[in-house]
Chains A and B, each alone.
Chain A
Amino acid sequence: MELLDRYLVAVGQKLPKPQRDDIIRELSENILSQFEDKEVELGRPLSEAEQEAILKQVGNPLLVAGRYRQDDRSLTLGRRIIGPALFPFYVKVLWFNSGVSSLITALVVLALFQAGARITLSGAISSLFWTVLAQFVVITLIFAGVEKHVSRFPDRWDLRKPPESGLMRLLDHTEPDGAPRISRFQSIARFVAGAVFLVWLRIVTHSPMWMFGAAVGAFRIEPVWHRIYMPFVLVVFGGMIQAAISFIRPDWVRFEVLTRAVLSLAGLGILALLVTGGPLLTLRDAVQTEAQLRVVHTVNEWFHFYFSMLAIAVACTVIFTLGPSVLRTLRGERASQQR
């Protein structure tokens, strides 16, 4: 039953945990009934090829699991652009990128408005709209391309020799022998998220007026931004390199955990610099009115508050999520060295 067991493991990996055992138990029973019927018909035990033929009829493990999922969502524009297998990753990247950039845009616009700068509602909505639209278009195009590429051969799967490419393999979280591995698609998603964010950052840095409107023209960026810009780009770029390495070597789970921890700590250091580095913006004009000073003071307060909150969120992630993973990884390494 080795083939059937491998098939059930492949389906189980893509099922939601709460229903996994129950679904697999029923699916297993159903397939065994089919095997038995065929054996009665032939009057002899089934060969591996005959078992495989029945499993092929049951279907691609990825698609079979997809039918059981209650959250079987996809992006359809006339025809299906992003299927249910990639959709959760797509939504994650979309939320992360457009969420972060929209939050920054909203923060700047709100701070300017709160401080009494000349911000119109249509200008604010337009800034947010263009930010979200640009992210949506770029991320959707990238994912649609990936979907088209990896879905070209959905039925190309072989349980005796798991394929090294194809949608199923890209989404796998374990090696055929059960050892943990990083989902290749998760690595692609991280790489895409980093690349799109870097492009957005470049646009914002070079043409802030295009993104936030004319009101930002009154401000001068303080040196603290220039100090953190390159380290920040390096951290995001480091994340992209780590994702690329994880894509090539999905079995390097320790490397992934440790580099993520290092990059998160570096990000925390950058945020600490931003929070403690004094005013982030000053006024461009030499002659400054009281109203203008109030504007710049409020904007700086908003920025400090936002970056403090972000630093707390990153610190919590490091302590409660990454920290235990790093400890588990190091303990695992020590245990394997002792063996």
Chain B
Amino acid sequence: MPADDTQFENLRLELRRGSLVLAVLAQLRSEQYGYTLRKTLADHGLEIDEGTLYPLLRRLETQELLVSEWREDGKRSKRFYRLSASGKLVLKQLLAEWKSIDLSLNGIVKG
């Protein structure tokens, strides 16, 4: 990969990192298990590889923003995640921040 591409890739990953947390929290307002969550995000144009998603879910659960439970679904037992009470509050604050950043950036980019 040429130096410019590497630089772009690093910046792109940096930009995506924060957005992914927001997307995961927003998507988990309704309960889902890991695999369907990943597919739903991909359907919305936000591809996330499982090596990133599952550790992220664990981290958000450790931070008490998510709660999870193992439940039978179909043939197998699956781990379902949903937003916790504090997760809902954090999501609300993050969305407000996101809208404010979006507004500012639009103003800056349009000049």
Contact status A30-B50, CB under 8 Å: yes
Contact status B51-A26, CB under 8 Å: no
B92 at the interface (CB under 8 A from A): no
Q: Which stretch of B17-25, B72-80, B82-90, B99-107 is in the interface?
A: B72-80
Partner of B51, one of A29, A33, A63: A63
Partner of A34, one of B35, B58, B70, B78: B35
Residue in chain A with minimal CB distance to B54 = A26
> With the chains together, A27 CA to B58 CA distance in Å?
12
Using Cβ atoms and an 8 Å threshold, which residues of chain B touch A27? 54
B30 at the interface (CB under 8 A from A): no
Contact status A67-B35, CB under 8 Å: no
Q: How far is the CB of A258 from chain B (nearest CB, A)?
A: 40
Q: How far is the CB of A76 from chain B (nearest CB, A)?
A: 13
Contact status B50-A58, CB under 8 Å: yes
A231 at the interface (CB under 8 A from B): no
> With the chains together, A33 CA to B73 CA distance in Å?
12
A32 at the interface (CB under 8 A from B): yes
Q: How far is the CB of A14 from chain B (nearest CB, A)?
A: 13
Given A33-B35, A34-B35, A58-B50, are A26 and B55 also a contact pair (CB < 8 Å)?
A: no
> With the chains together, A190 CA to B50 CA distance in Å?
36
> With the chains together, A23 CA to B62 CA distance in Å?
14
Using Cβ atoms and an 8 Å threshold, which residues of chain A touch B93? none
Count how many chain A residues have C-beta atoms less than 8 Å from C-beta atoms of the other chain.
15
Contact status A29-B52, CB under 8 Å: no
Partner of A29, one of B35, B49, B58: B35
> With the chains together, A64 CA to B53 CA distance in Å?
11
Contact status A30-B34, CB under 8 Å: yes
Within 8 A of A (CB), among B51-71: 51-52, 54-55, 58, 70
Residue in chain A with minimal CB distance to B38 = A30
> With the chains together, A68 CA to B34 CA distance in Å?
15
Contact status A30-B51, CB under 8 Å: no
Partner of B54, one of A30, A33, A63: A30
Total A-B residue contacts, Cβ distance less than 8 Å: 36
Contact status A58-B51, CB under 8 Å: yes
A59 at the interface (CB under 8 A from B): yes
Contact status B76-A67, CB under 8 Å: no
Contact status B78-A29, CB under 8 Å: yes
User: Which residue, of A23, A30, A32, A64, has the highest number of chain B Cβ atoms within 10 A?
Assistant: A30
Contact status B55-A30, CB under 8 Å: no
- Which 5 A/B pairs are nearest by Cβ-Cβ distance? A33-B35, A67-B51, A67-B55, A30-B35, A68-B55
Per-position contact with B for A55-84: 1 when CB-CB < 8 Å, else 0? 000110001100110000000000000000
Residue in chain A with minimal CB distance to B70 = A25
Within 8 A of B (CB), among A86-111: none
Using Cβ atoms and an 8 Å threshold, which residues of chain A touch B58? 23, 68
> With the chains together, A23 CA to B35 CA distance in Å?
14
Using Cβ atoms and an 8 Å threshold, which residues of chain A touch B79? 25-26, 29
Contact status B77-A67, CB under 8 Å: no
Contact status B50-A29, CB under 8 Å: no
Q: How far is the CB of A290 from chain B (nearest CB, A)?
A: 64
Given A29-B76, A29-B77, A29-B79, are A67 and B52 also a contact pair (CB < 8 Å)?
A: yes
Per-position contact with B for A10-26: 1 when CB-CB < 8 Å, else 0? 00000000000001011
User: Which residue, of A33, A34, A58, A63, has the highest number of chain B Cβ atoms within 10 A?
Assistant: A33
> With the chains together, A29 CA to B36 CA distance in Å?
12
> With the chains together, A30 CA to B52 CA distance in Å?
13
> With the chains together, A105 CA to B33 CA distance in Å?
57
> With the chains together, A32 CA to B55 CA distance in Å?
18
Contact status A32-B76, CB under 8 Å: yes
Q: How far is the CB of A21 from chain B (nearest CB, A)?
A: 12
Q: How far is the CB of B36 from chain A (nearest CB, A)?
A: 8
Within 8 A of B (CB), among A25-62: 25-27, 29-30, 32-34, 58-59
For the A-B complex with A30-B50, A32-B76 known, give 19 more contacts whose Cβ atoms are closer than 8 Å: A25-B77, A25-B79, A26-B34, A26-B54, A26-B79, A27-B54, A29-B33, A29-B34, A29-B76, A29-B79, A30-B54, A58-B51, A59-B49, A59-B51, A67-B51, A67-B52, A67-B55, A68-B54, A68-B58
